[in-house]
Chain A
Amino acid sequence: MSAIHSHAVPAYSLAITMGDPAGIGPEIICRSLAGLTASERAAILLVGDRDTFARAAQVTDVDLSFCAVERDAEVAGCVAVAQIEMPSGDIPPGEISAAAGEAAFRCIERAVELVQDGRAGVIVTAPLNKAALHAAERYYDGHTGMLASLTGAPSSFMLLASEQLSTIHVSTHVSLRDAIDRVTVERVTATVAAGYDHLRRLGIEAPRIAVAGLNPHCGEGGIFGDEDDRVIAPAVMQLQKRGWEVQGPISADTVFYRASRGEFDLVVAQYHDQGHIPVKLIAFDTTVNVSLGLPIQRTSVDHGTAFDIAWQGRADATNMRAAIDHAWRLVRNHG
């Protein structure tokens, strides 16, 4: 099943969600937009609250104006905002509040609708705060679960992308014990396939994919666990039969190094920390989080709401710019 179902070119290439309005989301969005050309900005639809964006532009000292697409008269050069209905209640900057959590939820809900209606291409998300989300009685474990639920997707995969290293995870937010149980032939194969599709979408003709081992030294012939031989090796063989350039299992203590030297386009990590540690180690401020396996495409920053510095004009937009860049790559290579 192809994850993409839009045939017509959407009006906006990217839909960027505001995130939690008490956090740094609006500020890093404004900073990122300021670095784009006018024609690039014209291809972007912000999803959130126009007034919040306008205040963030002031705080970050960037010269941008915003207009709500379905309400305001279009003004040349203003940034289009799909205005959400802001919940009542205070949104104190830098604090957890139900109103902010609800606003963040409504942005995502709206962005999904926009993509499903063919009005926007790829979603880029600013950070939300899980506690605020729960305070608003939206019980999701974050963006990924919310997107899966809103789109009815049975499962999704998390890919961390950076210039030096990209890694996709067989499982993410489960305990280490549960993660080991999720290493099955089906799940490993599906993870590789999701990564393969994504790389093709980025324009890589024949992606080179390495699959990390689960146990130390890939179990060293079964002395330290048999999953590498029993599960991962057969999954890799199946994928090789498709003619794909897939290798593995390769011991986790060498595979990331080899990938960072350019030997592979993607490493399949067997669990959260296995993939997150090396990526963040080498590219901790430019790592982009990409959700795969959903019927929509989404990239995201890989940091939180940073309440401690929110609305002070100090937030660094490096990661947001990287998330937007990655989304552009998906748009460009897919027409």
Chain B
Amino acid sequence: MSSPVLALTTGEPAGIGPELLVKLVADTVSLPARLVAVGDPDLLAERARMVGVDIDVRTLDKGRVPESFSPGVLPVWPVTLRAPSRPGCLTVDNAAYVIETLDVAVSTCLHGPADGMVTAPLHKGIIIDAGLSGFTGHTEYLRDACGVEGVVMMLATQDPLHARQVAWQGTRSLRVALATTHLPLRDVADAITGESLENVVHILHTDLQRHFGIESPHILVCGLNPHAGEDGHLGREELEVIIPALDHLRDQGLHVTGPLPADTLFTPRHLARADAVLAMYHDQGLAVLKYAGFGRGANITLGLPIIRTSVDHGTALDLAGTGRAETGSLSEAVSMACLMAGHAFQTHD
């Protein structure tokens, strides 16, 4: 029986990405997906030795896929390092390598044989230093590579938050999407327009149906201001922008609730009836998710024609090569991609 194929990029070779990949494969006994690394096979083998992981790195032709997931075996679609890479030492020479791993992964997703991709962390600064001055991160790069206009960043946990606490029993896994991502807080209010908000909610709604099998997703929307503006006393964006946009979305039949004060929205009573939360800015949404599900959250890019998940941490250069980095977030990202690809797989199989 075949299972979805996931392409895993190594990310920045000087970071913890390569060792996380080999550790994950060495530690995983079974998986409802076939993993293929996208990166330098020698790099992966060397990092495996360095961190004391016994693993069999097997180079595959780009069109080929493994028959099944085998513990301890890491198939690789090869991309060659441009320069030797030592843990913790960034070099601009390998920026092109990092970009190529993304291009290969995207291409295998768009044209086969992969069903989704999972990315390990890259280092934005070194890619900018290498000459890609407009580079702002994976998400925007993948948006352009796939030729779409709008994408939405969503973080998700598979377990309910605080599942062991009585008050949280009955709550669902938490999915938090962001209306704005990496921009100064000062620019957030201007960046949120009726149009941008409606686009984000549509992408969120569609992809919750498509990748998560939720027929009629219920989306809770945070206010921008404290107490969601308190009828205009604490800011007018809710009255002028957010409420009209949500009314319009409801007219189109979408199940959206809000804007709600963010500090009451993120409590069990409200979350228990939500399929996803839309936060207005980075820290409003991510602080919650990282706080409550640290090391267990997966980052998902919605709005792409492909499935893409990623770890929610950085390259951790100081930990690279030590073997101390934990695979929790990568494992979460892989299992989230399995879940999403499984949906798509079942529907088109």
**A binding-site residues for B, Cβ under 8 Å:** 141, 172-180, 214-217, 219-221, 223-227, 252-254, 256-257, 260, 271-274, 276-278, 280-282, 284-285
A176 is contacted by which of B182, B188, B268 (Cβ under 8 Å)? B188
B185 engages A214 (CB within 8 Å):
yes
Whose C-beta in chain B lies nearest to the C-beta of A183? B185
B182 engages A174 (CB within 8 Å):
no
Kindly name the residue among A180, A219, A273, A284 whose own CB sees the greatest number of chain B CB atoms within 10 A.
A273
B88 within 8 A of A: no
Q: With A174-B226, A176-B224, A224-B184 given, is the CB distance from A252 to B283 under 8 Å?
A: yes
Q: With A176-B189, A224-B183, A225-B184 given, is the CB distance from A252 to B287 under 8 Å?
A: yes
Inter-chain pairs besides A252-B283, A273-B263, 8 sampled, C-beta below 8 Å: A174-B235, A175-B225, A175-B229, A177-B235, A225-B184, A280-B266, A281-B267, A281-B291
**A14: shortest Cβ distance to chain B, in Å?**
27
Task: Kindly identify, within residues 216 to 255 of chain B, every residue whose CB is under 8 Å from any CB belonging to chain A.
Answer: 224-227, 229-230, 233-237
Q: With A175-B229, A176-B224, A278-B288 given, is the CB distance from A216 to B235 under 8 Å?
A: no
Residues of B within 8 A of A285 (CB): 167
A226 to B183 Cα, complex, angstroms: 11
B262 engages A216 (CB within 8 Å):
no
Q: With A173-B226, A273-B284 given, is the CB distance from A281 to B234 under 8 Å?
A: no
Q: With A174-B234, A280-B266 given, is the CB distance from A257 to B189 under 8 Å?
A: no
**B181: shortest Cβ distance to chain A, in Å?**
7
**A114: shortest Cβ distance to chain B, in Å?**
31
A257 engages B225 (CB within 8 Å):
no
**A106: shortest Cβ distance to chain B, in Å?**
25
Residues of A within 8 A of B182 (CB): 216-217, 220, 223-224
**Interface of chain B, helix or strand or loop or mixed?**
helix
B154 within 8 A of A: no
A297 to B225 Cα, complex, angstroms: 28
B266 is contacted by which of A173, A179, A227, A281 (Cβ under 8 Å)? A281
Whose C-beta in chain A lies nearest to the C-beta of B190? A177
The 6 closest A-B pairs by CB, nearest first: A225-B184, A175-B235, A276-B263, A272-B226, A216-B282, A252-B283
Residues of B within 8 A of A216 (CB): 181-183, 185, 281-283, 286
B186 within 8 A of A: yes
B290 within 8 A of A: yes
A253 engages B286 (CB within 8 Å):
yes
Whose C-beta in chain B lies nearest to the C-beta of A179? B226
A257 to B227 Cα, complex, angstroms: 23
**B318: shortest Cβ distance to chain A, in Å?**
15
**A68: shortest Cβ distance to chain B, in Å?**
37
Q: Identify 28 residue pairs between A and B in the complex whose beta-carbon atoms are under 8 Å apart, listed by A's number.
A: A175-B236, A175-B237, A176-B225, A176-B226, A177-B186, A178-B235, A180-B186, A216-B181, A216-B286, A224-B182, A224-B184, A225-B183, A226-B184, A227-B185, A253-B283, A253-B287, A253-B290, A257-B294, A272-B226, A273-B263, A274-B283, A280-B264, A280-B266, A280-B267, A281-B267, A281-B288, A281-B291, A282-B291
Task: Kindly identify, within residues 112 to 164 of chain B, every residue whose CB is under 8 Å from any CB belonging to chain A.
Answer: 124-125, 136, 161-162
B90 within 8 A of A: no
Q: With A216-B182, A225-B184 given, is the CB distance from A257 to B290 under 8 Å?
A: yes
A129 to B189 Cα, complex, angstroms: 30
A214 to B125 Cα, complex, angstroms: 21
A177 to B189 Cα, complex, angstroms: 7
A256 engages B291 (CB within 8 Å):
yes
B292 within 8 A of A: yes
Whose C-beta in chain B lies nearest to the C-beta of A271? B226
Whose C-beta in chain A lies nearest to the C-beta of B264? A280
Whose C-beta in chain B lies nearest to the C-beta of A261? B294
B291 engages A257 (CB within 8 Å):
yes
B234 engages A277 (CB within 8 Å):
no
Task: Kindly identify, within residues 254 to 299 of chain B, every residue whose CB is under 8 Å from any CB belonging to chain A.
Answer: 262-264, 266-268, 281-284, 286-288, 290-292, 294
A263 to B165 Cα, complex, angstroms: 22
A56 to B288 Cα, complex, angstroms: 38
**A238: shortest Cβ distance to chain B, in Å?**
22
**A306: shortest Cβ distance to chain B, in Å?**
13
Residues of B within 8 A of A280 (CB): 263-264, 266-267
A271 to B223 Cα, complex, angstroms: 14
Whose C-beta in chain A lies nearest to the C-beta of B271? A281
Residues of A within 8 A of B162 (CB): 282
**A291: shortest Cβ distance to chain B, in Å?**
17
Whose C-beta in chain B lies nearest to the C-beta of A284? B267
Residues of B within 8 A of A227 (CB): 184-186
**B184: shortest Cβ distance to chain A, in Å?**
3
**B25: shortest Cβ distance to chain A, in Å?**
28
B185 engages A172 (CB within 8 Å):
no
A214 to B187 Cα, complex, angstroms: 12
A224 to B233 Cα, complex, angstroms: 28
B290 engages A254 (CB within 8 Å):
yes
A277 engages B184 (CB within 8 Å):
no
